[in-house]
Amino acid sequence: MNMPEFAKLEISYHPLMEYGAAWELQKERVQAIDAGTASEKLILLQHPPTYTIGSQHHPEHLLLSSEQLQEQGIALFEIDRGGDITYHGPGQLVGYPLIKLGEHGRVDLHGYLRTLESVIIDYLASHGIEGTRKPEYTGVWVGDEKICAIGVKFNKSKHRRGFITSHGFAFNVTEGIGRSGFSGIIPCGIAQYGVTSLEECTGRSFDVAEVAGELVPYFLRHFGYEGSCAPEYAK
């Protein structure tokens, strides 16, 4: 595959970043990619406890009052990605791919979502876990429990054909994350199914930063980036 200018994918990992700062970082980078002044980027990170409500806008799926949110130290953002409400917190690997779609043979918009799912499914398989899709929902499931939520925004390019992606996936790694944050919402508006994590599925302990490094080759392969890139670990 002949890769375009700025084909090198920059990858960074941040141990903890406030949601608002990460959102601004995405928007700034999307504009720079569109203008041709920056390369595509995959941001991997963890957030402090945060609920985000997507463009489907169902605030009734938040089960906590503003007072309870404040008491529990959970931030709340209404944002511009697709999807419903979800939770982010320590122990969850969040990935924000900021990449160009619609030029140089890249996948279509629907295909992009399926490819993101494939990255997680193949990574789970490397640990002996069967990750699956549910046709009516976006994301990755183990049985009837969601292990990875996906919600994206396709930003229309102003200076080139196609789109630039933002937002992305939230992959539950540690065992406690489901009980700590998802109990305060109806995750993605789906009441009949639960959530799980990598640790719960394997019975092993995982370091989120190490999982980030392990996941990168799967992302590179599925999205057609050449060579090997390792995350730059931010302090």
* Residue range 117-156, pLDDT digits in tens: 999 999 999 999 999 999 888 999 999 999 999 999 999 9
Domain assignment present for 108: yes
The residue length of the chain stands at 235
Cα four-point dihedral sign 192, 190, 75, 116? positive
This model's pTM is above 0.85: yes
Task: Give the CATH number for residue 72.
Answer: 3.30.930.10
Note the pLDDT of residue 1: 32
Q: What is the pLDDT of residue 86?
A: 85
Pairwise CA distance, residues 118 & 131, whole Å: 9
Is 5 part of any domain?
Answer: no
**Is 1 domain-assigned?**
no
Asked, for residue 234, whether it belongs to a domain, the answer is: no
**Is 231 part of a structural domain of the chain?**
no
Mean local confidence (pLDDT), 34-39 = 94
Q: Which domain holds residue 49?
A: 10-226
On whether residue 140 sits in a domain, the answer given is yes
Q: How many domains does the chain have?
A: 1
* Known catalytic membership, residue 201: no
pLDDT in tens, 178-212: 566 878 867 666 666 889 999 999 999 999 999 99
Residue 232 located in a structural domain: no
CA distance 40 to 58: 32
